[in-house]
Structure 1
Amino acid sequence: MKEILSMDHVTFAYDSEEGNSRNAVENISFTVNDGEWIAIVGHNGSGKSTLAKLMIGLMFPKEGTIKVFLEELKDENLWDIRSQMGIVFQNPDNQFVGSTVQDDVAFALENNGVPFEEMVPRVHEALSQVKMDQFMNHEPHHLSGGQKQRVAIAGALALQPKLLILDEATSMLDPQGREEVIGVVGELRRQTGLTVISITHDLEEVLLADRVIVMNQGKMLRSGKPEEIFAHGDELESIGLDLPFAQRISRMLRKDGLNIKGEHMTEEELVNELWTSHFNK
């Protein structure tokens, strides 16, 4: 498969006020391939936000190499590489610059010199993809949290990126808004094969990923498919991560003496077992 992004033994250290330095990430190596959804999870201070900043060139590693679209990320090619990325941050209000939704989505296209006659259909298509085309003339700040984040995603999609990076993009949303945004991203990926990197602490969101990277104290603790990662539920809880709701309920029922098989990742799986094994008799 075509490589989209890779980190090879990457280490980054922040300078402290005392003049010392500490490694925020240490010896990190992984590869993201075309069309994958990779989730990077960890508690606050685990290093996942530092990885996000390194990916988009806000900082450069102390050691190791970062390649994006097969090119080593450097000052000289930073803007060219960023033009092929879509980036959505935690707080959409910090990204809004336009007076209307369509103005805001068009902003990045204007900065990249896209001609007006090409810009208009791209703005309309991006808003349609996230089901916000009926809000083109609304003021962004009057939208709900989920709607704002969908507009931010539309702004990223209008650039027609090869890679979409979500940096805690759902952490400030209520459950409905979070479900809206993740649903939109999942559908876009199914339709277009978009490559997604999601930096998050929401383990429900992680269930949609192809692979998961678990960060702890700046190091990669585990990497694997969601079911492989959640098989180590005790370890995840020990580093401050919450398990998916269905898995927590499964464990509680098992402790109360109910014969629950395996670790259920989704509510549907748990309900099906409860119905077939315990109630449908």
Structure 2
Amino acid sequence: MSEILSFNQVTYSYTPEEPHTRNAVEDVSFTINKGEWITIVGHNGSGKSTMAKLMSGLLMPQQGEIRIKREILTEENIWDIRSQIGIVFQNPDNQFVGATVQDDVAFSLENNGVPHEEMVKRVHNALRQVKMEDFINHEPHHLSGGQKQRVAIAGALAMHPQILILDEATSMLDPQGREEVLTIVEALRKEIDLTVLAITHDLEEALLADRIIFMNAGKKYAEGTPEEIFALGDDLVQFGLDMPFAMKMTKLLQAQGVQLVGQHMTEEELVNDLWTSNFNK
């Protein structure tokens, strides 16, 4: 696997002139490989969104370095590097600028001087990828929450990014809308070898990740697979995060004397264990 993004001892403060205030991000290092799904979790104020802005060049580190495809991010190459990164934010309404879905997806392409024929092709292809081609002439503000986020993803995909950053992109969606968006992103990841970096406080969503980076007070508290991070258990709760429903239910059942093997991250795992351990004897 080839390295596509890395932080090397990155520090950033919104008030660097005040030496006694806490850094938003402090001495953070990690490496992401092409095609991985990485999730950054942490409570509000842990540094997650600041990291997204640093990755995309909206902010520049005051210490340390960020590399995209092993190239150090600088003021000189920021526009070239930013073109390789797509970002979908929490509220899709804040990203819409076009009168129709196709106008909105085409906006960034027009700004980057993509020829008209190529632009039309990219818009149609991006909308097909997120299953929104039938809504090409609809007004974005009349779509459901999940549909809006799919259009926002299409706008990012039309630029042919190598990295897609989801910055709390599902936090305002209902369960159906959240499932729609995550299913689409997972399919795209496999289809075009997209690298996905999801920033969230929802640990159920984090189950999709290959690796999780757990942030607390601007620092990297832990990094590992979902199994390794969820094994921290009470530490997650202590730092303002909630364990997945299946893990909480497993603990409650074990406390009531129900025989279960280990912990369960998904409801399917819990149901299967309940069946085999207690009802299939």
Q: What residue in structure 1 maps to residue 229 of structure 2?
A: 229
On the 8 A contact 1:40/1:212 being kept in 2, the answer is yes
On the 8 A contact 1:129/1:154 being kept in 2, the answer is yes
Q: What residue in structure 1 maps to residue 153 of structure 2?
A: 153
Deviation string, structure 1 residues 58-84 (Cα, Å, up to 9, x no partner): 111121011112211111111111111
Q: What residue in structure 2 maps to residue 242 of structure 1?
A: 242
Q: What residue in structure 2 maps to residue 163 of structure 1?
A: 163
Q: Give the residue type in structure 1 aligned to 2:5.
A: L
Structure 1's 7 and 19: CA in aligned 2 closer, same or farther, altered over 3 A? closer
On the 8 A contact 1:163/1:195 being kept in 2, the answer is yes
Hey, what's the Cα distance between the residues in 2 that align with 1:249 and 1:187? 30
Hey, what's the Cα distance between the residues in 1 that align with 2:139 and 2:43? 34
Q: Secondary structure at the match of 1:11?
A: strand
Q: What residue in structure 1 maps to residue 271 of structure 2?
A: 271
Q: Secondary structure at the match of 1:98?
A: coil
Q: Secondary structure at the match of 2:22?
A: strand
Q: Does 33-42 or 248-257 show the bigger shift?
A: 248-257
Q: Secondary structure at the match of 1:161?
A: coil
Displacement of 1:42 after TM fit? 0.1
On the 8 A contact 1:16/1:22 being kept in 2, the answer is no
> Which structure 1 residue ranges, 4+ long, deviate > 3 Å from structure 2?
16-21
Unaligned runs of 5+ residues in structure 2 are none
Displacement of 1:22 after TM fit? 2.7
Q: Give the residue type in structure 2 aligned to 1:30.
A: F
Deviation string, structure 1 residues 133-176 (Cα, Å, up to 9, x no partner): 11101000000101000000010011111111111111111111
Structure 1's 16 and 9: CA in aligned 2 closer, same or farther, altered over 3 A? closer
Q: What residue in structure 1 maps to residue 85 of structure 2?
A: 85
Listed as ranges, the matches of 1:39-188 within 5 Å are 39-188=39-188
- How many residue pairs align between the two structures? 281
Two-structure CA RMSD over aligned residues (Å): 1.3
Hey, what's the Cα distance between the residues in 2 that align with 1:22 and 1:206? 27
Using the size of structure 2 for normalisation, the TM-score is 0.97
Structure 1's 18 and 231: CA in aligned 2 closer, same or farther, altered over 3 A? closer
Displacement of 1:244 after TM fit? 1.0
Unaligned runs of 5+ residues in structure 1 are none
Using the size of structure 1 for normalisation, the TM-score is 0.97
Hey, what's the Cα distance between the residues in 2 that align with 1:21 and 1:265? 37
Q: Secondary structure at the match of 2:209?
A: coil
